Amino acid sequence: MAEKIAIAKVRHPGERWSLAILVLFAVVALALLIVSVVGLIWLAVFLLLEMVAHQLAMAFFRANSILVSEEQYPAIYRMAKAYSTKLGLKKVPDVYVIQQTTLNAFAIRAARRHVVVLYSHTVETMVEKERTDALGMVIAHEIGHLAANHLRWAGIAAGIGIFLLPLYLYWSRCCEFTADRLAYLCLNDKGSALEGLLKLTVGKKLAPATNLEALARQHAALRKDPWAKIIEWWSTHPHLLNRIHKLQTFTDSQVASSQICKVGGGGL
């Protein structure tokens, strides 16, 4: 059996210090709330609303999507199970497929459960006949968020992020880079990992024909564009071209090489 991926070793470095600052401010804010009766009431109301929202979210997915299992879309379930094991999760997240015409997927913690939601168009775009490698990149990315505890801290980070918005957005982008790294290590295949990101960028038909050298030149030009930087600064997600570049850089790093050796090869 393959060993687990050492998540702490492959986190994007900016994720640690930005979260530390956000948590520090959150602790101070919480202390100020506790000494106030009104603050305690607001905190109780917030926690109650959060619990209700999570329960409603779970009810929505159960009623409007299909739960993946060993009997339902088993290929997807096997991927989720394998990546959960590699990333050290004790239980496979609930994976749902829901009808949506956009390219997206996300992970949430709802009613104390880990949940991954795949949009049907994403599944259709990523799968090529019997090949599911690109879809694996998407699934492993979302499970990576769960395994790296991004969802555990997201509520606190977002709450205090109202007052420290640039820092919160930076932390969120760092989490995306970390999840991409973990997804690549789960797949143990640079080509498949890049294919997943390319399909998110240009779709199913054009991704295989993408010239990576030309793409690298485009990214280099983008880094000099101040307007592009401004757009990214105020986004929870990095530019897709930046994600592709960062992932290519990581795959060639010594950290990635050491983790590939630790995880080992093997199919699903």
By residue range, what is the domain housing residue 207? 7-261
Residue 1 lies in a domain: no
The tokens describing 238, both together, are 């990095």
pLDDT in the model for residue 171: 97
Q: At what angle do helices 150-161 and 13-34 cross, to 10 degrees?
A: 60
Phi, psi of 130 (to 5 degrees): -95, 0
Residue 189: what residue type? D
Counted domains in the chain = 1
Neighbours of 252 (CB within 10 A): 10
Tell me which residue of 240, 136, 237, 144 sits closest to 190, measured CA to CA. Answer: 136
* Contact call for residues 100 and 61 (beta carbons, < 8 A): no
Strands 66-67 vs 105-110: parallel, antiparallel or unpaired = unpaired
* Rounded Cα gap, residues 32 and 46, in angstroms: 16
Residue 267 lies in a domain: no
Which residue's entry shows tokens 């990315």?
141
pTM, full prediction: 0.90
Residue 110 lies in a domain: yes
Please list the rounded mean pLDDT of every run of 10 residues in the chain (268 residues).
82 95 86 68 74 81 92 96 95 95 88 88 89 93 96 86 91 98 95 95 94 96 94 96 96 76 48
* Rounded Cα gap, residues 116 and 24, in angstroms: 29
Strand (E) or helix (H) holding 263: helix 254-263
* Rounded Cα gap, residues 148 and 24, in angstroms: 19
Alpha carbon distances (Å) from 198 to 36, 84, 207, 231, 240: 51, 24, 5, 20, 8
Q: At what angle do helices 240-251 and 190-202 cross, to 10 degrees?
A: 170
- The DSSP result for 148-213, as a single string, is TTHHHHHHHHHHHHTTSHHHHHHHHHHHHHHHHHHHHHHHT-HHHHHHHHHHHHH-TTTGGG--HH
Residue 194 lies in a domain: yes
CA 228 to chain centre: 22
Residue 2 lies in a domain: no
Residue 257 lies in a domain: yes
Residue 71 lies in a domain: yes
Residue 247 lies in a domain: yes
